[in-house]
Structure formats: structure tokens, C-alpha cells
Structure 1
Amino acid sequence: MDLKPGSRWKSAVCDVEVVVVRPPKTPATLECGGYQMVPHGEPKPEGKEIAADFAEGSQAGKRYADEETGMEVLCTKAGAGTLTIGGRPIGAKEAKKLPASD
């Protein structure tokens, strides 16, 4: 899985689509809904359904980051699958607080 900055990926089991913002520091497998994601231009595999353990959903416009690998992706299309790296769920990054302007 070649997770280069700017590369686009889609879920094999739902509507989730992401763009890699920061690649992982070590080789990693990006998954959604319990299955490895596929390059944006390739067809989805047939006959797969979201795994029950990975059905919390992903939100469009949110950045998802993994501290262990350093990987960060931007979700460009929402869906029912949970984003994971090597089977470990990754969470949405919190927005940085801007200083108050008085």
C-alpha cells in the first residue's frame, strides 16, 4: 500500500473517501469498515460488508491521525465505516484553539 501525500483512497465497503495528508513513518495498512482501502481509481471488491466492530462512521471534512505511525488523512466523503490502521481505530483530530483577539 503506497500511502503518498495527496494519494486518494476509498473504502471497499462504504462511501468513505480520504486523501493522505501525511504518510506513515513506517509501512502501514489503511483500512475502513474492517477492510483494506483501495486506490480511488480502482473498482471496489464485490460481496464485502462493513464489519460490526468497525461501523462507527467517518465524517467528511475531518482529519484523522494516528500518533503511533504519524499518518494523517483528510476524509473527503463521509460513510459508515471506521478508519483504522492495521486494525487499530484512528480518531479525528481536534481543531486547534485560536488565541482570542481583544
Structure 2
Amino acid sequence: MKPRVGQTLASTVDATTVVVVRWPDDDLKITCGGADMADPREAAGTGGSADPAQQDGTQLGKRYADEELGVELLCTKAGQGTLALNGAPLPLKNAKPLPASD
């Protein structure tokens, strides 16, 4: 499954859900807790097993991004699993500093 911008993805092993903000034309694999993410309607009740090494959790309202690959996800529901792209953990996107007000 190739995600598209605006699509919601849900973890099959925990409560994590994300919205795709940016996605390249490349075919990349997005996982949460070591298991593939899926459409929320398909993920309900699938109950896979989570990888214990990928349980750093996600934070509600935070963006996870890989600038080099052009991927950005917005977490809409937090969970215990770690978001990963092609097996590598997806880092939190740094906030842009606001301009100084003089």
C-alpha cells in the first residue's frame, strides 16, 4: 500500500494513528512497533504482535519526519509503538524558531 497525502494510517499493534502530511513517489514501508501500518478500517481487530525493541512511543500532535526522503506524518492518537520508515526510527520534526519580536 502506498500512502497518499491526507490519508490516515493506524497501527495494528497499538493505538497509534497518524495522518500523512508529505509522502514521496518512492515505495517506502511505514511501521509502528515493528508492524505495518494500515487503513484504520482494516487495522481494527487485526492485533499483531509488537517488537519489544520498538516501544519508544509516539506523542499526540507531534510531527515525525525524514527530510531527506520527503516524509512527514502527524500523530493524531498516541501509542506505545515507535514509528519507523524502512526499519529506521522516524525522528520528531524540529520546531521552527519564531522570529524575535522587538
TM-score, length basis structure 2: 0.92
Contact 1:25 1:69 in 2 (8 A): no
Q: In structure 2, what is the equivalent of residue 55 of structure 1? A: 55
State the 1:67 CA deviation: 2.8
TM (norm. structure 1) is 0.92
Q: Which residue does 2:27 correspond to in 1?
A: 27
Structure 2 gaps, min length 5: none
Contact 1:16 1:79 in 2 (8 A): yes
Number of positions where the alignment pairs a residue of Structure 1 with one of Structure 2:
101
- CA offset digits 1:9-55 (Å, max 9, x no partner): 00010010000000134110110000000102222423x22211110
SS of the equivalent of 1:41 reads helix
Whether 2:8 is the aligned partner of 1:17: answer: no
What is the CA–CA distance in structure 2 between the aligned matches of 1:53 and 1:68, rounded to whole Å? 25
Instruction: For structure 1, list consecutive stretches of 5 or more residues without a partner in the other structure.
Output: none
Alpha-carbon RMSD across the aligned residues, in angstroms, is 1.2
Stretches (4+) displaced over 2 A: none
Aligned residues: percent identity?
46
The 3-state SS of whatever aligns with 2:41 is coil
- Partner residue in 2 for 1:45: 46
- Please say if 1:82 is aligned against 2:85: no
